[in-house]
Amino acid sequence: MEKLLDIRNLRTYFYTEDGVVPAVDGVSFYIKPGETLGVVGESGCGKSVTSISTLRLVPNPPGKIMEGSEIIFEGTDLLKLSEAEMRKIRGNKISMIFQEPMTSLNPVFRIGDQIAEVLLLHQGLNKAEAREKAIEMLKLVGIPRPEKVVDDYPHSLSGGMRQRVMIAMALACNPRLLIADEPTTALDVTVQAQILDLMNDLKKKVNAAVMLITHNLGVVAESCDRVVVMYAGKVVEEGDVYSIFEDPKHPYTVGLLKSMPSAVGGQDKLDSIPGVVPNPLNLPKGCRFAPRCNKAMDICREKQPGLTVLGEERTVRCFLYNREDGVK
């Protein structure tokens, strides 16, 4: 199987005054060319740190990607590249869009100049060509009157339109991988749907793979081929989108699905997971989900569960499925 991105045993720790925070603690997953992988979990589970680690944008200090981590992209370990080599990959082969476009677009530069910047840097276009291409990209992402908007400043656009601009910038260099961290969370529900449709449509056109980071399982159902569920810095379940929704195995995944707003019932929350994500400075000794788990057994409070392979591309980290321990 061809892997575009293969993250192996990624550990990203933060050295704070209060102690060491293992924000990402031994995470492994891969993305195949052209597919959309959803990375889901509540906030504080390590999703965003995983994404910024992939681009080597972890602020150091206090953050550090630990020895033994590997981020293999197109066969090369990104952690072994120089910063100069890494700059050729960011915004070019791997690009990223964030939750709040106002913080990612520079308010003092015209929109066209910001799109042109990536083209000047990575594609060797001259200024006039870059401007033409910027207008073309704005058209592609459905911005009305692109010839005018190209000279506007970010504040004159709505949140949805700014996110379209971010997508235009992210796709301008035909990346192989687009990392989208909560790309629609800050937007109205109707605009969210439009932006997701646009992303799904464009990623096919440019044949990019997507790492879609979200806490919203509705977004996952709309867009993803496969899903990785994260909890407290670890991957707890992995599978194709149908198995995850039809037959979730990990009690955390089951809880996430139950707390999804019902599409038909009109009920806002069917159920939810009690408690909160554990303090990373004071993690439970055994399974990190044990304090919130309605299936917890004695062993769960003593030992950390390993990954159990359930089938092809289907794994879970939970003692309920760990045959070695003779449970189920």
Segment interacting with ligand SF4, rule: CB under 6 A, options 63-71, 159-167, 222-230, 317-325: 317-325
Give the 3-state secondary structure of residue 5. Answer: strand
Binding mask 110-149 toward ligand SF4 (x if CB under 6 A, else -) reads ----------------------------------------
Among 161, 254, 273, 293, binds ligand SF4 (CB under 6 A): 293
Q: Give yes or no for a contact between 40 and 228, defined as CB atoms under 8 angstroms apart.
A: yes
List phi, psi (to 5°) of 258. -70, -30
Q: Please state, in angstroms and rounded to a whole number, the distance separating the CA atoms of residues 215 and 226.
A: 15
C-beta closer to ligand SF4: residue 269 or 295 = 295
C-beta closer to ligand SF4: residue 203 or 250 = 250
Segment interacting with Mg ion, rule: CB under 5 A, options 45-53, 123-131, 245-253, 298-306: 45-53
Q: Which does 293 bind (CB under 5 to 8 A by kind): Mg ion, ligand SF4, none?
A: ligand SF4
Q: How far is the CB of 306 from ligand SF4 (least distance, A)?
A: 10
C-beta closer to ligand SF4: residue 145 or 295 = 295
Cβ count within 10 A of residue 206: 16
Among 52, 211, 296, 307, binds ligand SF4 (CB under 6 A): 296
DSSP code, position 277: P
Q: Give the angle 54-58-59 at the CA atoms, nearest 5°.
A: 165
Among 48, 51, 214, 322, binds Mg ion (CB under 5 A): 48
Segment interacting with Mg ion, rule: CB under 5 A, options 46-54, 126-134, 156-164, 188-196: 46-54
Strand partners, 76: 73
Q: How far is the CB of 47 from Mg ion (least distance, A)?
A: 5
C-beta closer to ligand SF4: residue 283 or 297 = 297
Cα separations in angstroms, 6 against 41, 54, 74, 162, 264:
20, 10, 9, 31, 38
C-beta closer to Mg ion: residue 34 or 159 = 159
Q: How far is the CB of 97 from Mg ion (least distance, A)?
A: 13
Could you give the residue ranges of the DSSP H alpha helices within the chain?
A: 47-54, 83-89, 101-104, 111-123, 127-140, 146-149, 159-171, 189-206, 217-223, 241-246, 251-258, 298-302
Contacts of 255 (CB under 8 A, 6+ apart): 271, 272, 273, 292
Q: Please state, in angstroms and rounded to a whole number, the distance separating the CA atoms of residues 278 and 26.
A: 17
C-beta closer to ligand SF4: residue 44 or 101 = 44
Q: Is 12 in the site for Mg ion (CB under 5 A)?
A: no
Burial class from Cβ neighbours inside 10 Å (0-12, 13-18, 19+) for residue 119 reads buried
Q: How far is the CB of 149 from ligand SF4 (least distance, A)?
A: 49
Cβ count within 10 A of residue 213: 26
Q: Tell me which residues touch ligand SF4 (CB under 6 A).
A: 250-251, 287, 289-290, 293, 295-297, 300, 305, 318-320
Q: Tell me which residues touch Mg ion (CB under 5 A).
A: 48
